[in-house]
Amino acid sequence: MTTTHPRKPVAVVTGGAGFVGSHLCDRLLAESWRVFAVDNFLTGSRDNIKHLDDNPDFVLIEQDVTQYLKVPGSVEFVYHFASPASPVDYGEYPVKTLKAGSLGTLNALGLAKNKRAGFMIASTSEVYGDPLVHPQTEGYWGNVNPVGPRGCYDEAKRFAEALTMAYLLEDKVNTHIVRIFNTYGPRMRLRDGRVVPAFASQALLGEPLTVFGNGSQTRSFCYVSDLVDGIWRLSRTEFHEPVNVGNPAEMTVRQFAEAIIKITGSRSPIISKPLPVDDPKQRRPDITRARQLLGWEPKVSLEEGLRLTIPYFRERLGRAPAAG
């Protein structure tokens, strides 16, 4: 007698070879989904998905999301995570960043509409700009400079949120908006300009850790497995308003630099450089909504997360540990 197995649900992950996107692909596969990852490798990496080459439930579609998205068969969910996402990237690719947030979001939403699938936009804490409210709640509308050096990224994400809500209201697409705060973990690019790979690389190489301004600006850091768990939980709901997902444990950038030095055993000094234009002075999520709606909060401590992350950077650098 032939046994028929139930069809696995299908997800499309744009930006599936990126840092967060690749971890999301792993989680979906672990949840017994089939995954189509869409990536043009502008900032994503084949190394991030190399371990999935022989997985029959994983399919790579190499293309730009600003082009029409065509995926065969049924699709249950579309996760739109494709975008340059670091200051270095959107400084180099401001037009591509805006296109990913506008045309890319339009195409991803169109796919979800045509397939009658759920949809999630990966938004960002940057929609709050340099906030005048602290911590940041989802009801805060932000303090964004649309013509500053960060404007291409901030406004692309704000537009993407508006477009997502429009598809909910007009076309009844089951949409979700996750506002992602600072996240770190393996598969981050060494030179992407974000604070975790920057400090880790400098410490491991014995170079000075560069702190902008006096280092008193604050950040909160969420380990990638915690973030992906929040994303997964949100995608299982029928909730459509934005939801902050991040770690509310706040620290100054200088304190974070000191933590990196301690964990790597580095002798690197900390030096100061001028503060970039529009650099947020405070960044901490209010995760009340995520706690109440999703039963979610971060589980991985900063020390544990860094101990899971530093070996990846050490391997990428091809260096021995800095002397302690």
**Cα–Cα distance, 83 to 157 (Å, whole number):** 9
pLDDT tens across 48-100, in order?
Answer: 999 999 999 999 999 999 999 999 999 999 999 999 988 889 889 999 999 99
Count of C-beta atoms within a 10 Å radius of residue 147: 7
CA separation, residue 315 to residues 49, 191, 221 (Å): 17, 14, 22
- What's the chain's average pLDDT? 93
Share of the chain above pLDDT 90, in %: 81
Count how many Cα atoms sit within 13 Å of the Cα of residue 92 in the half-sphere of its side chain. Answer: 11
| Burial (Cβ within 10 Å: 0-12, 13-18, ≥19) of residue 4 | exposed
Cα separation of 176 and 193, whole Å? 28
| Residue predicted with more confidence, 193 or 145 | 145
Q: Which of 79, 90, 153, 223 is catalytic?
A: 153
Q: Which two tokens stand for residue 29?
A: 């596969």
Domain ranges of the chain: 10-316
pTM: 0.93
Residue-level pLDDT at 173: 98
Helices (H), 148-301: 151-171, 195-205, 224-235, 253-264, 288-294
Q: What is the pLDDT of residue 112?
A: 98
Residue 153 designated active-site:
yes
**39 SS3 class:** strand
pLDDT at residue 324 tops 60: no
Over residues 5-64, the pLDDT tens digits come to 689 999 999 999 999 999 999 999 999 999 999 999 999 999 999 999 999 999 999 999
- Kindly provide the residue ranges of all beta strands, DSSP E only, lying in the chain, ordered along the sequence: 10-14, 34-39, 58-62, 77-80, 118-124, 175-180, 183-184, 209-212, 218-220, 222-223, 242-245, 250-252, 270-273
User: What angle (nearest 5°) sits at the alpha carbon of residue 78, between those of residues 76 and 81?
Assistant: 155
Give the separation between CA 36 and CA 61, rounded to whole angstroms.
Answer: 7
Return the number of other C-beta atoms located less than 10 Å from residue 220's C-beta. 22
Average pLDDT over residues 185-190: 94
- In whole angstroms, give the CA distance from residue 228 to residue 234: 10
Is the predicted pLDDT of residue 320 greater than 80, yes or no? no
At 147, is the secondary structure helix, strand, or coil?
coil
Angle of helix 302-317 relative to helix 253-264, nearest 10 degrees, comes to 60
pLDDT digits (tens, 9 = 90+) for 272-312: 888 766 566 778 899 999 999 999 999 999 999 999 999 99
Cβ neighbours around 316 below 10 Å, total: 18
Give pLDDT, residue 279.
64
Q: Residues 6 or more apart from 262 whose CB is under 8 A from it?
A: none
Residue 58: its pLDDT value, please?
98
Query: pLDDT by residue (tens digit) across 214-237?
Result: 888 888 899 999 999 999 999 999
3-7, 105-109, 255-259, range with greatest mean pLDDT: 105-109
Q: Does domain 10-316 bear CATH number 3.40.50.720?
A: yes
H helices of 183-223, in order, are 195-205
Distance CA 83, CA 96 (A): 8
Per-residue CA distances from 194 to 54, 102, 225 (Å)? 32, 24, 18
